[in-house]
Amino acid sequence: MKVYLILGGLLAINLAYSQKNLVLQDKTYEPQIKTVRLYPNQPTEGNTILPAVTRVDVQNLMLEFDDLQEERNNYYARVIHCNFDWSKSTLMDLDYMRDYNEFPINDYSFSINTHVPYVHYRFAIPTVKLPGNYVLIVYRDGNKQDLVLSWRFAVNDSRIALTQDSDLSGLGNIRSTNQALNFVLSYRGIEVINPAGSIHVVVRQNQRWDNAKYDVQPSFLREDVSELEYRFFDMDKTFSGGNEFRFVDFRSLNYPGQNTYKLDRSHKPFDLVVALDAPRGSQAYSQYPDMNGNFTIDNQDIRSEPWISSNYVYVNFGLQSPPIKGDVYVVGAFNGWQRTSENKLAYDQGIYAQRILLKQGFYNYQYWVDAKGADANQVEGNYFQTENLYEVFVYYRPFQPNADLLLGYFVIPVNPR
C-alpha cells in the first residue's frame, strides 16, 4: 500500500497496486496525474489538438502530462500492440519494437510560481516497426504494477485507398439528426485473402473512442475490382450529429473570458464558476466555432512557458434542468471522455453541478446522459448541421504477422466551416 498526496490539501488517497488494473484505453490511475496530451509533435499551430495518429515513416508523437507534486518521480514507459478493437494482440515486444521496451521519462520541468506545485513531463513516443493500434503505459520506478497512466495512439501505413460518396439518400427521417459516411475502399495495392473477414473498419467522431463504431461491415463486396463499399443507411451505422460544443475560457485569471460567471480568489487554488448552462435539445441549431470537444492550455497573464506557468483552478460546472433519467456527466477531451465519479454531476434544487480541477486554458465540453435506452445527447440535442470531424481506420490482418495492421487512415470533416 502506498499513499499519494495532492499538495495544497486537494486530495489524499490510498492506492493499492491491486487496484491499478491495466485497461487498454485512455486512463489515469492516480488522481494527481492531470492534463494528459498525446499529439503529433510538429511545428504547426494547433498541433496539440490533432489526433494521436502518425505515419509509419514519420512517428512524431509526443506525450505530456502533469504530476501535482513538488518532487519529480522516476517514471518509465512501455508500448503495447493492440488489435483493431483495442484488445491486446499476441505479438511479442520484439515483433513491433526497435529497442528494448522500457524507456525512462527524463524530460521534466517544475511549475513556476503556481498555486498548486506540479512537475510537467514530456516524452517522445518511441518508434515502432509495424502499423497498428498501440497503448502507451507509464509506471513508477520500473514497477509495471505501479501504473500512472495509459493512453492510445495509432501508426498508419497508407496502402488502402478511400473514395468518399456524399449521397445520403435513404436516411429517411433520421437525416435531420444523424450523420452518415458513405465511402468505397480499394485494396488493389495489397494481396488480400478473405477481405470480408480480414479487413476491419472502425469509425470515430471527434477523436472519441467511447462511442466509436467498431468492425463496420461493408454493404457490398466486389472482389473482381478489389473494392469494399460502405453505405450507411441503418440507424446503428450512423452517428448522432450532436451539437456544437459548449466552451469556457479561463486563459486569463486576471480577466476571465467568455462563459465565466465569477472567480473566487479568496483561497488557492481559485474557484471559477462557469456561467449556468441550460438544456439545448429543444432549441434551434445555433452555429458557432468549436474545437470538437478538445482543449488548449494557455496563460494570457504570463505569456511565456504556459505549460509550467499556468495555474490549476477549481472549475464549477452547473446545468439548470428538470430531473433527467440517468446519470449526467460533463465530458470532453480534458478527461479522455471518461465517465467517472470525478465528472458525474450531482442534482440539487434544480441544478446539476460538479467541481473539477483543471489547468488554465480554453475548454470545450458537453453534458452526456448515461441511461439505458436514452439518447446520450438529449441535453445538447442532435442536428445534422453540426460540424464534426470523423476518422476512418482500416485494419488488415495478414497470415503473418497474425495481428491487425493499420493500412488506411482517413480524416473526413462533415459541415466544415
Scored b (16 or more CB within 10 A) or e, 224-248 reads eebbbebbbeeeebbbbbbbbbbbb
Residues 205 and 312 in one domain: no
- All 3 cell numbers of residue 309? 506557468
Strand pairing partners for 367? Answer: 330
Distance between CA atoms of residues 64 and 107, nearest Å: 10
Residues 81 and 115 in one domain: yes
Q: Which of 110, 140, 156 is the last residue of a domain?
A: 156
pLDDT digits (tens, 9 = 90+) for 157-172: 999 999 987 665 555 5
| Together in a domain, 207 and 322 | no
Q: Do residue 10 and residue 151 come from a single domain?
A: yes
Residue 6 has a pLDDT of 47
Residue 380: inside a domain: no
Q: Is residue 295 part of a domain?
A: yes
The burial class, CB within 10 Å (0-12 / 13-18 / 19+), for 190 is: middle
**In terms of domains, do 152 and 9 share one?**
yes
Q: How far is CA 8 from the centre of its chain?
A: 28
Do 237 and 250 lie in one domain? The reply is: no
Do residues 190 and 121 share a domain?
no
Residue 120 forms part of a structural domain: yes
Instruction: Note whether 196 and 327 are same-domain residues.
Output: no
The CATH number given to whatever domain includes residue 402 is 2.60.40.10
Q: Look at residue 233 in the predicted model and tell me its pLDDT.
A: 59
Task: Please report the pLDDT score of residue 358 as a whole number.
Answer: 98
Do residues 39 and 73 share a domain? yes
Domain that holds residue 326: 246-370
Residue 375 lies in a domain: no
Please state, in angstroms and rounded to a whole number, the distance separating the CA atoms of residues 39 and 156: 15
Residue 377 lies inside a defined structural domain of this protein: no
Whether residue 16 is found in the same domain as residue 112: yes
CATH number, position 285:
2.60.40
> Do residues 145 and 202 share a domain?
no
pLDDT per residue as tens digits for the range 224-265? 999 999 987 566 678 989 999 999 999 999 999 999 999 999
Which ranges of the chain have pLDDT less than 50? Answer: 1-17
The answer on 129 and 178 residing in a single domain is no
* Reduced 3-state DSSP string for the chain: CEEEEECCCCEEEEECHHHCCCCCCCEECCCCEEEEEEEECCCCCCHHHCCCEEECCCCCEEEEEEECCCCCCCEEEEEEEECCCCCECCCCHHHHECCCCCEECCEEEECCCCCCCCEEEEEECCCECCCEEEEEEEEECCCCCCEEEEEEEEEECCCCEEEEECCCCCCHHHCCCEECCEEEEECCCCCCCCHHHHEEEEEEECCCCCCCECCCCCCEEEHHHCEEEECCCCHHHCEECCCCCEEEECCCCCCCCCCEEEEECCCCCCEEEECCECCCCCCCCCCCCCCCCCEEECCCCCCCCHHHHCCEEEEEEEEECCCCCCEEEEECHHHCCCCCCCCECEEECCEEEEEEEEECEEEEEEEEEECCCCCCCCCCCCCCCCCEEEEEEEEECCCCCCCCEEEEEEEEEECCC
Work out how many domains the chain is built from and give that number.
3
**376 assigned to some structural domain:** no
Task: Please indicate, yes or no, whether the overall pTM of this predicted structure exceeds 0.95.
Answer: no
Predicted confidence at residue 380, as pLDDT, reads 95
pLDDT at position 282: 84
Residue 207 lies inside a defined structural domain of this protein: yes
